[in-house]
Chain A
């Protein structure tokens, strides 16, 4: 079946550095993609989304890149802060449903 996966299960960065979290997807028919952040003991929190007809979208300190040729999605976090430590999920959407990847644990070292 279709799946959404991640290249790296864990990522450790120094405070102030930029972080890049990657995601591979397999359903070329997905209409949009979303990145969620989940802190320990909490529900997922929306970060940013991108439609399938876009290549790049920027938010506050975050950028999502979509490469449809190789079915790859990435989340870039600028000037990573300790508060960014969490599990990050990519999800692909079609109609009104999401399919989630397994997540990447981001640890920010002071």
Chain B
């Protein structure tokens, strides 16, 4: 099993550009999450999904959109990137029977 994978690993955007981050998991997990991590801070929840076709806002959802069209994939979109969105983005997934969230390797995004 590959676990949780994220693409791309790195990306540089100009202010105003758009992009989509892809998260995929092969563990048949119901729950999926997108976090951002800034220097000296813990992870903050952007959006999450409790099942295929459902999404919900987390702690810092502004400027982001998500979609969960397939159970194994969770997409994070930035419609108009801003420098404040420069961060490392982590995707995670979790099954219904236990508490552990499994994390992907992260995407480092820089917005100039």
A: residues with CB less than 8 A from B are 4, 32, 34, 36, 41-46, 49, 89, 91, 93, 96-103
Contacts and interface: CB of A to CB of B under 8 A. Distances in A.
A96 B100 contact: no
The A contact surface, by secondary structure, is: strand
Interface string B88-112: 0010101000011111111000000
Q: How large is the interface on B (under 10, 10 to 19, 20 to 34, 35 or more residues)?
A: 20 to 34
Contacts of B42: 4, 89, 91, 100-103
Interface of B: 4, 31, 33, 40-45, 48, 50, 58-59, 90, 92, 94, 99-106
A102 B103 contact: no
Contacts of A32: 99
Contacts of B103: 36, 43-45
12 contacts: A36-B103, A42-B105, A44-B103, A49-B99, A96-B31, A96-B94, A97-B33, A97-B58, A98-B45, A101-B42, A103-B41, A103-B42
B81 to A, nearest CB: 22
Given A42-B105, A46-B100, A102 B41 contact: yes
A93 B90 CA distance: 18
Contacts of B92: 43
Given A98-B101, A103-B41, 11 more contacts: A4-B42, A34-B100, A34-B101, A43-B4, A89-B43, A91-B42, A97-B33, A97-B48, A99-B45, A99-B59, A100-B42
Nearest to A48: B100
B105 A34 contact: no
A100 B44 contact: yes
A4 B59 CA distance: 14
Which of B33, B42, B45, B100 is packed against the most chain A CB atoms within 10 Å?
A: B42
Nearest to A95: B50
A44 B99 contact: no
A15 B6 CA distance: 34
A55 to B, nearest CB: 17
